[in-house]
Structure 1
């Protein structure tokens, strides 16, 4: 029953965690923040862990572990609800557009104004009633609370299983729990895919008047809805733990005499660690606290534990950064919508990881791998996965052809620099229009080139409504010399490149294979961590391992990955109150 309850708790926390990663681009666009700041939000979960995990792992092992896990699940649910709170506090989402008039008719809407509102008047209109400038703080704080609530689930849950399960079954049970934990992200990304298809203010706006689609860089899905669903699931996962006992009968094969000679050689057992109390016996707080620092020093003095800790930190730095921004990479590099990117992560990539973790645990049980054998197995799978990942560099795509950003000037000649400058978007073909160079309202000309806005494309008239709007008499499209003569442009950027459609299936196949091979070593590596230390120190060792990896990998990796991604941005959006917003288009060659 504890195994079932812990598996459900792992599922709930993994679902909400993966849903957070699936909403990275939605949060960027909704709150007009750069990627490094969403990395800070994503890393706030680890900050919450950092605050309490060492003490929860150490003191929690001597208290009622199931009830502490239950309290953690309740905190996680509350934090998840807080993340969704900003949606109900701020106004409706108003995406950036160069057309200042309301699209409420089907003809004669001119995208080429003779006079443009001054910046001060634009700011006063846009900022009237504006209150979402710092609403992302609620998401940050809610994620911190999620991290605090998640703290006891892993170290206390795994140590509880390893204490009361038969030794030959412990690896299999832990493999089952970790497999369920990886199934959680499948549903998390699928939930993210579903919510990304739904407009953020669904039910409160006329969808026929919305000119953007889910593939647009300004589209924001119903990100808040998934957090409400995940919060309810997490709250339900807390219920079983309130009724579980503090301890279970210890199997007869778990006595000290049953330790193998190899395991005994890995465990350092100096007199310092002879505790005056057992893990399941109550002890005074001062007595436990006095022993904390000496016990931690002895734990870090274990060479096997210390080496495994360093290797895990290095490996997780790359894995966490990749997982956090992989859906965004698929969106930007291969031209997929956020919904499709999340769907592919949930149905292709994550199941490969789950299968790899389960297979690794099963192989360890069937092959009866020793501690040294498990270490070699984990090292070999990581090395093979690293070499396979190098092939991602050859699966490249061309950049989207955007007029006057990549040098596709009105002559249609060549590709110039990769930096965006506001003055470069103006040309003789759009000189009759008073256009803003700051707006991002892309249209696709018949020549296959994307233009920053219908005004900068030189379009004089428009017909249609919402996503069916067609812009006519576009002087810059004809000036490119590649039009068929209709001189029109449609809403949205042009379809992605043909070479990307050919490369994308190979990218997905290699991603699945690499994920499976790397995850094969997950359970054997975890068992090395558990078996190389004294049983009394399992909770502390697991907790400190989680603390270290999240402090040195989970927190910084999304931030510096996001900061590097921001350096590849070609066109930043503009906040209604002024200032730089979310990135609209990236240099995908540098992004790779």
Structure 2
């Protein structure tokens, strides 16, 4: 009876750990995807360019790399469930810190127009020189530090105390649950983007802009509070789990301590002095080296695309941030997950060997990138903005380098103006965003032409193009993802068994360092070069971009 009790207790503890680890994976994936969904909201709220958003986004990877060596050395020697719990708590604190600036700087300052010669409001002379986006960066670094032990220690804990045939199943279950996290993260981003940033503190009837306006800022902070609470809850079960569990099925003790991990992958090294020669041997494998270089190049483009795809949808097709995030959550992310699963299934059904896996991965990549070229054919003209893309008088196209004001009132002729005065309007009716201006002489040559608050919507031809863009985006994401699993298997099979852990760890470390960190930064810098009109900070200085040249690089 005592043995039966111990067995049942062990099973309950394993089940509890599996559920807890799955929840932790879900929580970290949710907060990570929510961060990407708030990119345009953070740009507008803190008046910063896209390249700085890239620095903030890449700071998560920096935090992860800062402590990976510490976790690698001490992780397996200490109480792994409790270390994971500490990591979840740190992730939660980091997420709360990201939301902190909203409660420090108070209400936003969104005016109806932007003056050419601004007079700074009172209080600017005493304003702190510390930019509030620093808190967002530091919070994201802390999130990266907290995330570090979750995967390596969690997977190794399962592998050490579970039979070989069950370990793969359990790990697969955990990874599957983690795919659900980004879906909910983007959906949460969509919901919060609909809500005005100062909800509960302002009368919404007095707000003159809509979520489609380039100056709209959603309740970005609310999602971080929700994600922080979820992450904090995920830490609770790990405090009640034992340091070790009874072995089942196999005695998986490694013959050579210590266990080390590099960037979320376990690495067993029997003799430390042999590390450099072993690494030299690994990098001397031409197949491994070529695969490493190819995946670094691929991930640079894919990470940059995923980071700024919602922004692209917003700016190019004039969709709201809420709709862009919703589409990412319900269309793009599931397409990627289905592609990865289908790739593994096809590899098993077709019984592909190492050469077959290489051809399959190469073929899907080529097809995916060829299809991506069709995106260039799905372009839209720039928005018609008086004083930016059109002159005020003859409405001829003007130089994009000309310094002019940003417009925020839509004329009946489909052209956006900086103010109803510059549209020639002489009377108005209604309040807030329902205000309608009439007798606008600049809008039309004759007749009672009107103007309304907010930017003009995009042209009909661009609206017709948008569904085709979405369809191509889903197909391309699915095809490129098909080669993910076969490519990963190629990485494993092209090296000697004793080098497998080192190969996986070094691959993950290299791709994170050379793709995860720099890609969002230089993609953001490229996007900044296409800005036609920069916003202006409350107390002076260049802020976030208000309108982009969509026919250019962007």
TM-score, length-scaled by structure 1: 0.81
Q: Does 1:295 align with 2:275?
A: yes
Residue-by-residue CA offset, 1:438-472 (whole Å, 9 max, x unaligned)? xx351111111111232332334433211011223
Per-residue CA deviation, residues 233-280 of structure 1 (Å, 9 max, x unaligned), is: 11222233341553663645989xxxxxxxxxxxxxxxxxx9753649
Residue 406 of structure 2 corresponds to residue 445 of structure 1: no
Structure 2 residue corresponding to 1:215, chosen from 209, 212, 215:
212
Are 1:249 and 2:247 an aligned pair? yes
The question of 1:328 aligning with 2:343 is answered no
The question of 1:188 aligning with 2:190 is answered no
Partners of 1:509 and 1:386 lie apart in 2 by 15
Match of 2:140 in 1: 143
Q: Distance in 1 between matches of 2:318 and 2:245?
A: 53
**Aligned residue in 1 for 2:44:** 29
State the partner residue of 2:57.
42
The answer to whether the aligner puts 1:354 opposite 2:353 as a matched pair is: no
- Is residue 54–residue 547 contact of structure 1 (8 Å, CA) maintained in 2? no
Match of 1:240 among 237, 240, 256: 237
8 Å Cα contact 2:425/2:438 also seen in 1 = yes
Aligned partner of 1:415 in structure 2 is 397
- Give yes or no for contact 1:3–1:177 (8 Å, CA) kept in 2: yes
2:122 is paired with a residue of what secondary structure?
Answer: helix
Q: Residue 383 of structure 2 aligns with which residue?
A: 400
Please tell me whether the aligned partners of residues 58 and 540 of structure 1 are also in contact (alpha carbons under 8 angstroms). no
Q: Does 1:550 align with 2:512?
A: yes
CA distance in 2, matches of 1:11, 1:366: 29
Q: Which has the higher contact order (CA 8 A, sep 6+)?
A: 1
CA distance in 2, matches of 1:417, 1:117: 18
SS of equivalent residue, structure 1 residue 573: strand
CA distance in 1, matches of 2:346, 2:236: 34
| Cα displacement (A) at 1:126 | 6.6
* Aligned equivalent of 1:579: 541
**Alignment gaps of 5+ in structure 1:** 100-115, 256-273, 281-287, 423-436
1:60 aligns with 2:80: no
**Take 1:208 and 1:175, find their aligned partners in 2: how far apart are those partners?**
50
Distance 2:112 2:146 in 1: 41
Greater shift in the superposed pair: 307-316 or 512-521:
307-316
| Cα distance between partner residues in 1 of 2:370 and 2:427 | 54
CA distance in 1, matches of 2:386, 2:512: 43
How many residues matched? 528
Which residue in the other structure is 2:443 paired with? 477
Q: Which moved more, 1:569-578 or 1:485-494?
A: 485-494
Which SS does the other structure have where 1:326 is aligned?
Answer: helix
| Conserved? CA contact 1:96–1:573, under 8 Å | no
Matches within 5 A, 1:49-88: 49-88=64-103
Question: Please, what TM-score do these two structures have when normalized by structure 2?
Answer: 0.87
* Matching residue of 2:19: 4
Is the CA contact 2:256–2:270 (under 8 Å) kept in the aligned structure 1? no
| Match among 112, 115, 140 for residue 97 of structure 1 | 112
Deviations 1:137-180 (A, max 9, x none): 00000000001111122333344555666666666554443332
SS of structure 2 residue aligned to 1:96: coil
